[in-house]
């Protein structure tokens, strides 16, 4: 039923530990990840092989032999080489996907997006060239693997404690997302539309079960997938709203690094006492990975609101997504009976924390999303971590998803875009809702030719 095969390559092994930090060897983590990935592909019925199943030393030549011998040297063989990054800086964090010079970026992009949706901090997907011969790939896993389609996944940085904690806690979730993304890419083709993510139907699934798992409804799943019946087949690809927020009575929450009962209570608009009662907790101590039950709408306190002025191109869906709320919540907060918006209309956005008073007008609000950190947000708004902390009265660097921050408004009217294989000015302009001329003017370009890796300034819309 599938027209592709997968070879999984657990990076390093035996005498080669890979990166070592925080009492962890890269080779052990890559094996843990790869073993689980192997089982998952097998479970989905995808033909799969693995380059090592024990802690053995496999030199590059032998590794390539094993890859090419598994299913032959063919374009329909996907090679997934699993690695953990390291850096001289402990603040470097996030996943990367590196793809071969001979391949399109689609698979790499979809894998990175899947990791982000699954909660990992992500950096970028890219190609890397050998400095001594820039017509060749930097990594042997790309360079020497014939016609296969190899991707090298760096799940995060071993020397960054947050990354490492996330990988150790969530690697199964990340692998599940990657397996789905690979199947969806190969079987479904295109990148899922904004606001959605892909889900691959598994044995025992039903629309009801999937809807529950993703806090959406059967009707909504059928609507976005144009389904006329409730029947599903294993391996079928569904679109799932990626930011749906539960409004069911009870939901579960997995404790992440940096969480406190207070931050979780605030996020879910409830109280520490409620959380402790509901989960029969004796103390305030939480452990990463602990599962808490959260009661949906128990709090009598109405959330506070911020104002949002509707701009060109906005929809209820895009605004709801931006603020990590549901369209229903947005409509309810504004007593809207239709989905139509007009430019300039002021909407009340329910938010989950009070902002400290601040007098300067040149500020806007930003709602913390999964994977955010102060550094990333500071960069995005062209400011510093220290300034963000000052503006928001923060005493620590910890953020919680849904938390509202004050950020400088319009401090940057552009963002950086790195040119990828296959890009054209026209394609980039279209994607970012701007024009070729505008990009050329902004970047002082005199021709339309682009170089992979070139950094472009793109106007924010």
Does residue 18 interact with Zn ion by CB under 5 A?
Answer: yes
Binding segment for Zn ion (CB under 5 A), chosen from 7-15, 56-64, 320-328, 418-426, is: 7-15
Q: How far is the CB of 17 from Zn ion (least distance, A)?
A: 10
Q: How far is the CB of 136 from Zn ion (least distance, A)?
A: 19
Indicate the residue among 11 and 156 with the shorter CB distance to Zn ion: 11
Q: How far is the CB of 158 from Zn ion (least distance, A)?
A: 9
Indicate the residue among 10 and 402 with the shorter CB distance to Zn ion: 10
Q: How far is the CB of 374 from Zn ion (least distance, A)?
A: 28
User: Nearest residue to Zn ion, using CB?
Assistant: 83
Residues in the interface with Zn ion (CB under 5 A) total 3
Does residue 142 interact with Zn ion by CB under 5 A?
Answer: no
**Within 185-204, which residues bind Zn ion (CB under 5 A)?**
none
**Within 272-331, which residues bind Zn ion (CB under 5 A)?**
none
CA atoms within 13 A on the CB side of 348: 13
Binding segment for Zn ion (CB under 5 A), chosen from 14-22, 67-75, 192-200, 364-372, is: 14-22
Binding segment for Zn ion (CB under 5 A), chosen from 9-17, 56-64, 226-234, 313-321, is: 9-17
Indicate the residue among 13 and 18 with the shorter CB distance to Zn ion: 18
Does residue 11 interact with Zn ion by CB under 5 A?
Answer: yes
Task: Tell me, residue by residue from 68 to 107, as one string, x for binding to Zn ion by CB under 5 A and - for no binding.
Answer: ---------------x------------------------
Q: How far is the CB of 30 from Zn ion (least distance, A)?
A: 7
Q: How far is the CB of 182 from Zn ion (least distance, A)?
A: 20
Binding segment for Zn ion (CB under 5 A), chosen from 15-23, 105-113, 287-295, 382-390, is: 15-23
For binding to Zn ion (CB under 5 A), which residues are involved? 11, 18, 83
């Amino acid at each position: 039923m599938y027209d592709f095969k997968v070879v999984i390559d657990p990076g390093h092994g035996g005498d080669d530990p890979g990166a070592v930090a925080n009492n962890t060897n890269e080779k052990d983590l890559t094996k843990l990840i790869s073993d689980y990935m192997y089982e998952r592909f097998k479970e989905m019925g995808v033909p799969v092989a693995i380059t090592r199943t024990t802690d053995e030393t496999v030199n590059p030549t032998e590794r390539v032999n094993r890859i090419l011998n598994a299913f032959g040297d063919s374009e329909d063989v996907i090679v997934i080489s699993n690695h953990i990054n390291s850096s001289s800086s402990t603040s470097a964090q996030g996943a990367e996907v590196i793809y071969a010079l001979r391949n399109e970026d689609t698979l790499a992009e979809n894998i990175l997006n899947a990791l982000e949706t699954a909660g990992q901090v992500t950096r970028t997907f890219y190609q890397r060239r050998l400095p001594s011969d820039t017509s060749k790939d930097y990594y042997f896993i790309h360079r020497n693997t014939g016609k296969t389609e190899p991707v090298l996944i760096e799940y995060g940085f071993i020397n960054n404690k947050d990354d490492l904690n996330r990988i150790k806690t969530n690697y199964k979730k990340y692998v599940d997302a990657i397996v789905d993304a690979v199947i969806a890419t190969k079987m479904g083709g295109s990148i899922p539309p904004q606001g959605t993510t892909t889900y691959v139907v598994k044995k025992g699934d039903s629309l009801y079960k999937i809807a529950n798992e993703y806090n959406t409804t059967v009707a909504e799943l059928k609507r976005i997938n144009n389904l006329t019946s409730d029947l599903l087949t294993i391996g079928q690809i569904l679109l799932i709203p990626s930011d749906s927020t539960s409004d069911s009575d009870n939901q579960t929450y997995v404790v992440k690094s940096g969480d406190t009962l207070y931050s979780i209570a605030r996020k879910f608009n409830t109280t520490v006492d409620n959380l402790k009662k509901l989960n029969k907790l004796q103390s305030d101590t939480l452990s990463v990975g602990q599962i808490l039950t959260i009661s949906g709408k128990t709090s009598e306190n109405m959330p506070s609101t911020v104002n949002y002025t509707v701009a060109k191109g906005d929809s209820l869906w895009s605004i709801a997504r931006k603020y990590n709320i549901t369209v229903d919540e947005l409509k309810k907060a504004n007593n809207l009976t239709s989905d139509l918006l007009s430019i300039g209309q002021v909407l009340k956005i329910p938010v989950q924390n009070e902002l400290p008073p601040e007098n300067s007008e040149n500020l806007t609000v930003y709602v913390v999303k999964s994977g955010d950190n102060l550094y990333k947000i500071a960069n995005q708004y062209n400011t510093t971590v220290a300034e963000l902390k000052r503006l928001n009265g923060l005493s620590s660097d910890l953020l919680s998803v849904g938390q509202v921050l004050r950020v400088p408004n319009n401090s940057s009217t552009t963002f950086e875009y790195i040119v990828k294989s296959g890009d054209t000015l026209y394609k980039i302009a279209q994607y970012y809702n701007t024009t070729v001329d505008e990009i050329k003017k902004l970047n002082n370009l005199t021709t339309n030719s682009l170089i992979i890796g070139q950094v472009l300034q793109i106007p924010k819309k």
